Each structure stands twice: as C-alpha cells, then as structure tokens.
A = this chain, B = another copy of it.
Amino acid sequence: MNDEIIHILKQNSLSVTGSRQKILEVFLATDGALAHTDIEKRAGESFDRVTVYRTLQTFAEKGIIHLIPTTDNSIKYALCKNDCAPGHHHDDHVHFICGECEKTICLDNVTVPEVKLPEGFIPNHTEMVVKGVCGECR
C-alpha cells in the first residue's frame, strides 16, 4: 500500500513528501469522491489548508485525480483509476451524486455518450453528472 503510493508519486515525477503520501492514502481508502473539506478532515489536523490546496492542484495537473463539476460551488475530487497519463486523461465516465447520502460516485463502467453539436462547435471534453438515489440508499 505504501509502496503503491510512492510508486504513483514517482511515476508522476513528484517528490515523495509526507502530505502527498497522506492525501493519496486518503483517496485510496475512499470509494467515492472527496471535497476539499473532506480531505482536510480525514488527513487529520496535521496539514495546512494551503498545502492541501496545492497538493490537489498538483495531483490534478498530473492526472492522478480528476475534478467533478457540481452546481453548488463545491468541487469534488476523485482518483483516476485507468492509468491517466498527464494530459491523456480518459476520465470519460459518468458521475453520480446521491441526493440521500450526498456521496459522489464514479461510475467507471458508464461511458459518457457523444452528442451532436450545432454547426461550428468543436467538442474537446464532456462531463456528465447524474443526480438521483444510489443503490444503498433505498
């Protein structure tokens, strides 16, 4: 587990530091997506807010995590599972937000469908978020 974390960091040419290890650990121990606040809480009180911000930013740039859009001004972050390389993400899966438990879940097996756009529009990346009730909340 610890080896895996260090491996991920080195693979992305990041120096192996305490905070990065801890934050990655938190992600690996969670199935759903995490908001900035969740990470601060779960990582213990040990890290500065700024460090968490910068670490998340770095991870996102390297493609270790991806962002999930919401309509409530709270970005969520989730691990990229399928070996995202920097710049070559394929986090093309659908996200699900449960209205009951408020969890955000990556539906890794559900691919975002393509849509026909009007003349002139050139798509680059598509996000799809489904809201509803998850299996556990019924």
Q: Residues of A at under 8 Å CB distance from B?
A: 67-75, 94, 96, 99, 107, 109-110, 112-113, 115-136, 138
Contact = CB atoms under 8 A, between A and B. Distances in A.
Given A67-B71, A75-B73, A115 B128 contact: yes
A124 B110 contact: no
A110 B115 contact: yes
A21 B131 CA distance: 32
B130 A126 contact: yes
Nearest to A74: B73
Contacts of A115: 94, 110, 112-113, 128, 130
Contact of A126 (B123, B128, B133, B136): B128
25 contacts: A68-B71, A69-B69, A69-B71, A69-B129, A96-B117, A107-B118, A109-B118, A110-B116, A110-B117, A112-B115, A112-B128, A117-B130, A117-B132, A120-B135, A121-B130, A121-B133, A123-B132, A124-B132, A124-B133, A125-B132, A126-B130, A127-B128, A127-B129, A127-B131, A128-B129
